[in-house]
Amino acid sequence: MRDNNSDLRVIRTKESIRDALVELIDEKGFEAITVKDITTRAKINRGTFYAHYQDKYDLMTKFEEEIMFEMSRIAKQNFPGVIAALGTNSPTLAPFSLAVSLFEYLNENNGFMKAVLGPKGDLSFQTRLKDFMWKTIYGNDVNAIIKEENLLVPGQYLISYIASAHIGVIQQWLNSGMKESPQEMARILSTITVNGPLFAAGLKK
């Protein structure tokens, strides 16, 4: 058999397409991009694009899925420790190291992440990223820690609050030049989440 994806021409082509995509999202926004834009920038024939992807959405989805898969892997790796820590009196250590790992991954893929999470990015990715956080929070035996009867607000809103807040901070970090280290970002997020926004603002003791 010879139908593998190891043909150098395929690898080269796909890489050119991805590079072109990231550049173009930054320049004109994902939705304004045409397949012709991509192939012109990637210096390949338009027909070649359609040999690999159905359309620009298919391309984007496949790209995003790889990113999500990797983030999921990192999360799964660190989650047992997080669950264990949440029950204790110092619920910041394990979540902190998970956050650091994720920020390091974002840092490595900052070209794509900045483009896709930016103001000209892809709304569906942000939606999927929130879904991912939902499932990560809800699906991982958190029920063992967080009991419905202890919640002061409906669970769905609490999760939406936390997930959106975290993504918002990530976006701000990416768009303002990633000047803080992954460690510092993890500290910022856990400070606000553990103590609350008002405390972090110095308005509450």
Partner DNA sequence: ATAATAAACAACAGGTTGTTCGTTATTATA
Partner DNA sequence: TATAATAACGAACAACCTGTTGTTTATTAT
**Distance in angstroms between the alpha carbons of the first and the last residue of the chain:** 68
What amino acid occupies position 44? I
Contacted by 9, from its own copies, DNA, none: CB < 5 to 8 Å by type = DNA
CB of residue 4 to its own copies, shortest distance in Å: 35
Site string for its own copies, 30-69 (x = CB under 8 A): -x--------------------------------------
Distance CA(185)–CA(178), nearest Å, equals 9
CB 164 within 8 A of CB 172: no
Figure out which of the listed residues 9, 147, 179, 205 binds DNA, where binding follows CB under 7 A. Answer: 9
CB of residue 120 to DNA, shortest distance in Å: 16
Site string for its own copies, 146-185 (x = CB under 8 A): xx--xxxxx-xxx-xxxxxxxxxx-xxx--x---x-----
CB of residue 69 to DNA, shortest distance in Å: 23
DSSP 51-108: HH-SSHHHHHHHHHHHHHHHHHHHHHHHHHHHHHHHTSS-TTHHHHHHHHHHHHHHHH
Per CB under 7 A, 35 contacts DNA: yes
Distance CA(98)–CA(79), nearest Å, equals 8
Centre a 10 Å sphere on the Cβ of residue 1 and count the other Cβ atoms it contains.
3
Per CB under 7 A, 50 contacts DNA: yes
Q: Which residues contact 64 (CB under 8 A, 6 or more apart)?
A: 116, 122, 125, 128
Binding residues (CB under 8 A) for its own copies: these are: 31, 86, 91, 119-124, 126-127, 130, 145-147, 150-154, 156-158, 160-169, 171-173, 176, 180, 187-189, 191-204
Binding residues (CB under 7 A) for DNA: these are: 2-3, 6-10, 12-13, 34-37, 43-48, 50-52, 54-56
